Amino acid sequence: MVDVISNHQRWRHRQSIFNDIEDEIDRLHVGGLDDKDDVKLWKWGEGKFVSKFSSKKTWQHVRSEHQTCAWSQGIWFPQSTPKYSFILWIARRNRLQTGDKMQAWNVSVNAECVMCQGVQETCQHLFFQCPYSTEVWESLVKGFFRDDFTTDWDDIGEMVYGRSYPPTEMFLIRYSLQVAVHSIWRERNGRRHGEEPKAAAILSKLIDKTIRFHLLAVKATGHAYLERSLRIWFGIR
């Protein structure tokens, strides 16, 4: 926004950019401004100022643009659950505080996987190389993937964030991944804080129950491709 002030009081700032603004105001003032009222203009683009404010244009101007995230649609999609989407988003960006990251801060931290206690805990191991999480993941989606079933984190990403399956099946796969990641992460945290561990079969049943309840709710939203979601889910169990 541009705001030309006729009676300008000079200030010195720590940030050089603000001093540059002060210099520009002084330059305009010395250049001979008349006594007309000040005019406020909003910047809509390079060299383009208008009197109309637009939050969209302002946001586009002040933000830093990055390359479009191609796999975001596999996480943030209609009828997803925000808290599950958030955890999956953090996991896909490798920002979960897994054992390897905690050990980088403190070498005395036990970085072993609390599920299998066999190898160092990383995001790729926890989802779904660990025998515990492998059993959970397989119980949920083996009926969808069949011979294409995989526990490789990157391969799962390519399959889930692409368009290899019909809309209803894709929704079920994506939602299963969300709930599985969230539930396994909660189980992992619970074990690290001394809670009673759950067997993989028990956790799988709890995830299945969560998905069924959600499918009962989304059927009432009127989305055509979700009409048969519950029937398909029962069919692969």
pLDDT digits (tens, 9 = 90+) for 186-197: 999 999 999 999
Domain end: 39, 62, 85, which one? 62
Is residue 4 very low, low, confident or very high in pLDDT (cuts 50, 70, 90)? very low
Task: Please report whether residue 83 resides in a domain.
Answer: yes
Q: Taking all residues of the chain, what is their mean pLDDT, rounded to a whole number? A: 86
Specify which residues 121 forms β-bridges with. none
| Whether the predicted pLDDT of 13 surpasses 80 | no
Task: Please report whether residue 102 resides in a domain.
Answer: yes
Specify which residues 48 forms β-bridges with. 45
Digit-coded pLDDT (tens) for 64-94: 777 778 788 899 998 999 999 999 999 999 9
Asked if 46 and 82 sit in the same domain, the reply is no
Task: Please report whether residue 181 resides in a domain.
Answer: yes
What does DSSP say about strands 2-3 and 48-50: parallel, antiparallel, or unpaired? unpaired
142 — phi, psi (to 5°)? -60, -35
Asked if 143 and 216 sit in the same domain, the reply is yes
Digit-coded pLDDT (tens) for 15-26: 788 888 888 877
Q: Is the peptide bond before 234 cis (omega within 30 degrees of 0)?
A: no
Give the pLDDT confidence score for residue 5 in this predicted structure.
46
| Whether the predicted pLDDT of 28 surpasses 80 | no
Token readout for 67 is 């390359």
Task: Please report whether residue 122 resides in a domain.
Answer: yes
Asked if 77 and 50 sit in the same domain, the reply is no
Give the pLDDT confidence score for residue 88 in this predicted structure.
97
Give the pLDDT confidence score for residue 53 in this predicted structure.
83
DSSP string for 66-132: ----TTGGGTS-TT--HHHHHHHHHHHTT-S--HHHHHHH-TTS--B-TTTSSSB--HHIIIIISHH
Asked if 184 and 92 sit in the same domain, the reply is yes
Give the pLDDT confidence score for residue 37 in this predicted structure.
64
Give the pLDDT confidence score for residue 31 in this predicted structure.
60
| Whether the predicted pLDDT of 179 surpasses 70 | yes
| Whether the predicted pLDDT of 34 surpasses 80 | no
Print the domain residue range for 106: 72-236
Give the pLDDT confidence score for residue 39 in this predicted structure.
76
| Whether the predicted pLDDT of 106 surpasses 70 | yes
Task: Please report whether residue 67 resides in a domain.
Answer: no
**Residue keyed to tokens 């692969």:** 236
Specify whether the CB–CB gap between 54 and 62 falls below 8 A. Answer: no
Task: Please report whether residue 139 resides in a domain.
Answer: yes
DSSP string for 3-69: E--SSPPP---SSHHHHHHHHHHHHHHHTT--SSPP-EEEEEETTEEESS--HHHHHHHHSPP----
Tally of structural domains, the chain: 2
* Cα 195 from Cα 113, distance rounded (Å): 15
Asked if 140 and 175 sit in the same domain, the reply is yes
Cα angle: 144, vertex 150, 151; to 5 degrees = 120
For the ranges 86-90, 117-121, 180-184, 196-200, the lowest mean pLDDT is seen at 117-121
Asked if 134 and 196 sit in the same domain, the reply is yes
Asked if 58 and 108 sit in the same domain, the reply is no
| Whether the predicted pLDDT of 2 surpasses 70 | no
Specify whether the CB–CB gap between 116 and 135 falls below 8 A. Answer: no
Domain end: 35, 62, 89, which one? 62
